[in-house]
Amino acid sequence: MKNQLNARLLLCLIAVASMVACGGAEESTNDANSGNMAPTEPTEPTEPTAGCPAGTAEVAEFCALEGRITTDLTLTANNQYILSGPVFIGDGTAETVLTIEPGTTIYGIKDPGSPGTLIIDRGSKIEAVGTADAPIVFTSDQLEGQKDRGDWGGIIINGYAPINGCDAAPCSAEGEGSAGTYGGDNPEDNSGTLKYVRVEYAGTLFSEDNELNGIAFQGVGSGTVVDYIQVHMNKDDGIEFFGGTVSAKHVVITGAGDDSIDWTDGWVGNIQYAIVKQYEDDGDNGIEADNNKANNDFLPRSNPTLANLTFIGNENTDIGMLIREGTGVTIANSVVSGFGDACLVLDNEATFANSCDADASLITLSNLVLNCETQIEEPDPAEFTAACTAESIFSRAGSNVTTDETVLENYMPASDSMLLSPADAIELAAWFDNTAFIGAVGDEDWTAGWTIGLE
């Protein structure tokens, strides 16, 4: 245990008894764009209600986690927890399981040199299963009204699933922010469960090329269950997949300072039902999709399938979907609206080389609706010569459209919108639900009750 927690944590410790000044269920009242509201009056701290579990240290009313934890640990909602610097679950060999019960709040300490960060090591698991009425919340230790992007590190999960970037398999790599080793040869690797989990105000940037995402899935396998997750006001990317085979349903990314969904290094999983909403003050791309920067043709090649996406940008953010550096992708039943540069951009020679042959294309776009001032932006012809255009790839399916009509009311389909009656029914793999609408939400709003920042 550190001799002294930093001044920010001590300030927070004085103010958390009501679970208002330092987070918790009251988060839903935050301003949609900045997350800011006036700080409440601090109150005296209270002792933990149930006593801190073994493996944590009792500090005021917090149970503090730090260092490397190698015995199973359960966090319950009748205590509050703080990540005091980087916290590793497991030792990379024997399995350690971190279980988090519904309604639990975990705070990440704000320390630019050693921010609170949760890292699940290879071979271990996180079993964080909340509910719509009692989500699990990871948030900043700062006072309400003073929380901001990048206050703490975020969640990093390392697995044994395949990644690319090596001359020979199995391939492994070291995560940014000294987050441990990931990658291996088990595509069905199981790193646990994230369900009804919200991550707020994370994403510490150590340097331009060393930054933390809200949730980083690093070599995570298909045995891992990810369903109903939100990343809100992250400094860097909302979620990023570094290789692996993990899939996710019901994803919400709000106010990301950089890209909302990012992938690289051979990710081949799936996403269905994802809402991206970028704010006016900061943001980059809705999707930034790569195979591998060092070698665009490394194998296994990134080639995920995504369906039922709703991406909402604004004139100060960049590209809705940036597909580049040799990645493959299938995108179906999705809508992109309002991005300042373009709705869709394909880039890099390897991307076109693998996609211009209609019979062997690694890019498949179906039932895609674009609604931006610039719908599709072609690459600079001075950089490389392609055998086809982005427009031709977009138009190939016959079911993709561009429009200047209003198709969304916030993240819900507008009345009588074309999103509610797509031209074609798209058959996807068995993992996907069959839907009769375009976008993340049809008649039923699955975001209600557990998300923030969508107002």
Q: Is the pLDDT of residue 89 over 70?
A: yes
Q: Which of 205, 99, 229 is nearest to 152 (CA)?
A: 205
Band the pLDDT of 20: cuts 50, 70, 90. Answer: very low
Close Cβ partners of 241 (under 8 Å, ≥ 6 residues apart): 217, 220, 262, 263, 264, 267, 269, 304
CA distance 29 to 36: 9
% the chain with pLDDT above 90: 79
Q: Strand runs (DSSP E) across 115-191, as ranges?
A: 117-120, 125-129, 136-140, 154-158, 173-174, 181-182
DSSP class of residue 301? P
Lowest mean pLDDT across 178-192, 207-221, 284-298: 207-221
Q: CA-to-CA distance for 13 and 35, rounded, in angstroms? A: 21
- The answer, yes or no, to whether residue 3 has pLDDT greater than 50, is no
Phi, psi for 420 (deg, rounded to 5):
-85, -10
Whether pLDDT at 92 is above 80: yes
Return the amino acid letter for 33.
N
Count other C-beta atoms under 10 Å from residue 77's C-beta.
Answer: 17
Report whether pLDDT(7) > 60.
no
Top-confidence residue, 315 or 295: 295
Instruction: Return the domain boundaries, the chain.
Output: 7-420
- The rounded distance, in Å, linking the Cα atoms of 100 and 75 is 5
pLDDT band at 176; cut points 50, 70, 90: confident
Among 109-113, 358-362, 386-390, name the one with the lowest average pLDDT: 109-113
pLDDT class of 206 with cuts at 50, 70, 90: low
Residue 205 and residue 203: Cα distance in Å, rounded?
A: 6
How many residues in total does the chain contain? 455
Q: Report how far residue 305's alpha carbon sits from residue 362's, in angstroms, rounded to the nearest whole number.
A: 11
Positive or negative: CA dihedral 401, 345, 233, 200: positive
Reported pTM: 0.90
Q: How far apart are CA 33 and CA 11, in angstroms?
A: 25
Whole-number Cα distances in Å, 330 to 61, 252, 317: 48, 20, 24
